[in-house]
Amino acid sequence: MTTPDRATGGVAAGGAPSDGRDAGTGAAASDGRHAGVTPEAATAGVTTARVTAADVAVIGGGIIGLATAERLSAHGLSVVVIDERGPAGGVTGASGGLVRALDLSSAAHSWAAEGLDRYLRRGDHGRWPAVREDGSLTLFGADDTARAVEGVERVRATGHGAEILDAGEISRAFPGLAVPEGFTGVYEPRAGWLPARETAEAMLRDADSVTFLGGVRALEIVTAGSRVTGVRTTAGLVTTPAVLLAAGVHSTELARTAGVELPLRTRSVSFCVFAPRGRETGGAGAPGPLPAVLDSTTGGWLRRWDDGTAVLAGVPSPARDVPPAVTRGVPAAEEERVRAVARHRYPGLADADLVGGVTAYDALAPGDMGTVTAWPDPYGLVTATGWNGGGFKQAPAAGRYAAGLLREVLA
């Protein structure tokens, strides 16, 4: 195993929900400018022996790979993104898209804040989807007030707004929530959530010098001596001196083809979509104003459903080494597990109808840390993996950092 010469990253605390309607569809790239071979050709094992050359090959068209590709493109580099599905066809398409500056891990903190900055600016051209600024509320238990105070200071130090709310203030601002006496919340008014798939697709549209090979599987990172020379794919060889490996949990097997050990496991991440009773009439059960909530006492999270008629809720699962699949819906046991915890913060969920959900996973690295690493052997390989349920909020910062490492490789 080679050792990294640079690494950074951080824990993603409390993954959140997303748009269950789109989850797992795995649509291939459709934009003509980014079109590659069809998924059908790839699954049939057709290789066209096409040879493509690029400054950088990115394996994985999720939010991490696309955020990196967008930054590389902004520096005028030619990039080929290889994805066996399409843009956001993996975990990203299932993501809750919660964004905030406060991250409960100090290591990840600055990347979350930097990510929020960039999401609020809607990218370089103002064309990314707008952040749904419902606000972000991170709850702390009665014995944890000091952490809330520290959290506010840390958020403000990044230039974002934040204030402490006590239980009474939270109940008045958000009547649907139930917060025990003694709890405090760190409220960030200019935070909330984004539609994850649309955001990833917008990053791709901003990346003028990127060719997206949708429906193409990367098979091997090709090396000569101790340097990267290309990526062998189901559509032929991509010749390149620099590779970003951002294929989620599948990065382990691809890294091994280059002699790099990248131990990743799957961790179950899912959410339920609940429609509180009375929603059709706008009655008492309808969701009122609701920020994106992270409860640090349980790890549970909530946000409003896209059109405001329902609530997404998730509670971290202890399940590890689950199959790496993204599917619509949740098993009954998962629904009960989430409802049993989430109803304590949003009582309207106790008898709400389950109207959707998603069962998915994220890649978990040792130490729970998402990392971006430039490997000395083979030179030219950068990996960006292990986001553990929180990669979306960090993606713009992780992509900026990864692009910097790749540009150093090319310098």
Ligand X SMILES: Cc1cc2nc3c(=O)[nH]c(=O)nc-3n(C[C@H](O)[C@H](O)[C@H](O)COP(=O)(O)OP(=O)(O)OC[C@H]3O[C@@H](n4cnc5c(N)ncnc54)[C@H](O)[C@@H]3O)c2cc1C
Q: Which residues bind ligand X (CB under 6 A)?
A: 12, 15-18, 59-65, 82-85, 89-92, 94-98, 217-218, 246-248, 250, 254, 269-271, 358, 360, 362, 387, 389-393
Please say which residue, 187 or 212, places its beta carbon nearer to ligand X: 212
| Nearest to ligand X of 97, 151 (CB atom) | 97
Amino acid, res. 307: D
- Nearest approach in angstroms of CB 254 to ligand X is 6
Minimum gap (Å) between residue 108 Cβ and ligand X: 10
Residue closer to ligand X, measured from CB, 286 or 393: 393
Max CA-CA distance within the chain?
68
CB of 305 to ligand X, least distance (A): 13
> What does the buried/exposed string (b/e) look like for 150-169 if buried means 16 or more CB atoms within 10 Å of the residue's CB?
ebbebbeebebebeebebee
Q: Of 238 and 286, which CB lies nearer to ligand X in the complex structure?
A: 238
287 vs 314, which CB is nearer to ligand X?
Answer: 314
Amino acid (one-letter) located at 347: P
Strand spans (E) along 87-154: 98-99, 136-140
* Distance in Å, CB of 168 to ligand X, minimum: 28
Q: Shortest gap between Cβ of 213 and ligand X (angstroms)?
A: 8
Whose structure tokens read 């008014």? Answer: 189
Measured N-to-C along each axis, helices 196-206 and 63-74 cross at an angle, to the nearest 10 degrees, of 20
Query: Residue 31, Cα to own-chain centre: how many angstroms?
Result: 22
The residues, any chain, with a CB within 8 Å of residue 220's CB and separated by 6 or more, are 231, 232, 254, 257
- The least distance separating ligand X from the CB of residue 162, rounded to whole angstroms, comes to 18
Cβ atoms within 10 Å of 1's Cβ, excluding its own: 11
Crossing angle between the packed helical segments 106-121 and 145-157, to the nearest 10 degrees: 50
Residues in the chain: 411
Nearest residue to ligand X on Cβ basis: 62
CB of 204 to ligand X, least distance (A): 12
Shortest distance (Å) from residue 91 CB to ligand X: 4
Give 148 or 246: the residue with its C-beta nearer to ligand X.
Answer: 246
Minimum gap (Å) between residue 231 Cβ and ligand X: 9
> If you ran DSSP here, which 8-state letter would residue 280 be given?
G
**Cβ closer to ligand X: 59 or 286?**
59
Task: Kindly state the helix (H) or strand (E) to which residue 339 belongs, with its residue range.
Answer: helix 332-342
Cβ-based neighbour number of residue 325 at 10 Å? 10
> N- to C-terminal Cα distance for the chain?
26
In the bound state with ligand X, the residue whose beta carbon lies nearer, of 167 and 196, is: 196
Task: Between 270 and 296, name the residue whose CB sits nearer to ligand X.
Answer: 270
Q: How far is the CB of 280 from ligand X (least distance, A)?
A: 27
Report the distance separating Cα 294 and Cα 390, nearest Å.
12
Exposed/middle/buried for 277, CB within 10 Å: 0-12, 13-18, 19+? middle
CA distances from 64 to 79, 115, 393 (A): 14, 12, 10
Can you tell me which residue has the tokens 């540009």?
Answer: 407
Is residue 59 within 8 A of residue 245, CB to CB? The reply is yes
Instruction: Give the nearer residue to ligand X in terms of CB position, either 59 or 342.
Output: 59
